[in-house]
Structure 1
Amino acid sequence: MEQVHKKLVSSEKAVQIGRLVYAYPSEGERFYLRVLLNHVRDPTSFISIRTVRGVVSPTFRECCEKLGLVETDSSLDNALSEAVTFQMPRVLRRMFATIMVYCEYTNIRTLWDKHYESMAEDYRHVHGNSLIVEQFVLRDIADILSSMGKDIRNYGLPSMQLSGETNRDYCRDLTEERKIVVSDEDIKLAESLNAEQMEGFNEILDHVMTNRGKVFFVDGPGGPGKTYLYKTLLARVRSTDRIAIATATSGIAASIMPGGRTAHSRFKIPIKLEDNSVCNFTKQSGTAELLREASLIIWDEVAMT
């Protein structure tokens, strides 16, 4: 503590001239001294300012905790536990990183072990490999820490790999597809299909459910209900935890379908086509993995007049 006290002499002098220099939570004991100086009346020494009900605390932080001036490890743990009930995993990861940087939690690894499953829930739905899921979570937290000027390697968390299949881009497309919400309204669309729509719906769905690949061509002028059929198929397939990709040649047509994107965007098709043009993704990319996992791909070709 003597070394800490020497470093904080300038802060004590600042109080004597009537101006208290600002300190960030990440500055540790200097920050907690500043908190005490703002709340303890007429301190006469470093020992007196750390004394609560006749007992001298070994650190400024512990003194702050006894006085209820800062969050304790227990309250931060409880805050994360409470957030699990109403926050998305990505929000929990940001909250965890913030605690790492600004709250000086005593044992970050224990906090990680307790709340890891909640922070990894979205990635776990996409990828069954637990090691890869862990790497995705670590990479997200590392990115957040980096934006705060911190290095994840200094906090005692599991080791983070830097290459290979754990590249976050690999599963980005799968993650986005898995996050598409299927509404009850879309699920019920099948109840109002007409006879022709129902015939097409049943045949296409039968091939999807039995994993029998086939190409279907749905033809008709504008307005007969093709998009209605597409939305019904997308909802039914996605409700069975399968991947269903919705694309169209125009942005307007794509926006009508839940999770829809233009074919050029989804399949990396060059805008200007040449004789030797190819889709701009490799078989190791996230787009390729998405196509391999897909049970249904809808391409709405909008006729140009």
Structure 2
Amino acid sequence: MYKQTCTNILSLSPVEVKKWLNSFDSVITDCDGVLWVYGNLISGSSDTINYLKKMGKSIYFCTNNSTKTRKELLVKGIELGFNITEDGIISTAHATAAYLKNRNFNKRVYVIGSEGIGKELDAVGIEHSGIGPDVMQGTLSTFMSQHLTLESNIGAVVVGFDEHFSFPKMTKAASYLSDPNCLFIATNTDERFPMPEMVVPGSGSFVNAIRTCAERKPTVIGKPNPAICQTLIKQNKIKPARTLMIGDRANTDILLGYNCGFQTLLVGSGIHNMTDVDQWKNSKDPEDKKLIPDVYLPKLGDLLPLILNSMTHGSY
């Protein structure tokens, strides 16, 4: 329904809204830029998600944010008023730890990231380097001759969001990755965070720096890699054709939906908006066409009044 037309739901009649709502049973939604921005609730998002759940829709939060564990994301969601459970949260930190555990990984991990990754690795018994600053000391020659120390038994480099990203970290990561048997894992490749009036580098900025230096491509755990949702599909918890993917970033959220065969809804409260969609529609690059969503809303909270209005046109 409305496949890759970027139809504005606000332009639909109540009957058309009702028909669209009946076309999906499950909802997978991004968090930052859709539900909240930098920890602040986006108006109407919790009421809308909770009402969709009340209607019988299965709800899953799927975030590329690797800074928090699933338990921490659960606490944050509940504090903001969302009716969710830990089983309904898909996070790249948890998925990264699960990926290594499922491979029977038995070496140490060099982590460029935040405590969320460290805690999830700890939870499955995988040893890793410490989290936090690794500051450049002195000149390059001084650093290389006196301060650069490489750990032994490093079998993987995991890169996520790291506010302490530095020259020493990039040097160590690329050095470990010179061993072709060392795994190169990226939690996600989001270029930037949805922040008002400023640009905050995302994990993808760090991943691409290391990718350039190491001359290796990473295995990307998070969106748009369909692997992050494969467990839900294999366990028949969701049916792709009857699943709605909601996101604010087309090259992760909407592309994930395209890759998995989900329906897609782009909201304009984060990274991408209708101006971007118009550019992709006019582009000759077939990859850009994959970024065009099925439907669009300025923000998720705009959906609830449409749902309530459509309820006067028959039962669901």
TM-score bracket relative to the smaller structure: under 0.3
Question: Bigger relative contact order, structure 1 or 2, given CA contacts below 8 A and separation 6+?
Answer: 2
Higher fraction of helix = 1
TM-score normalised according to structure 2 size = 0.23
Higher fraction of strand = 2
TM-score normalised according to structure 1 size = 0.24
Higher Rg: 1
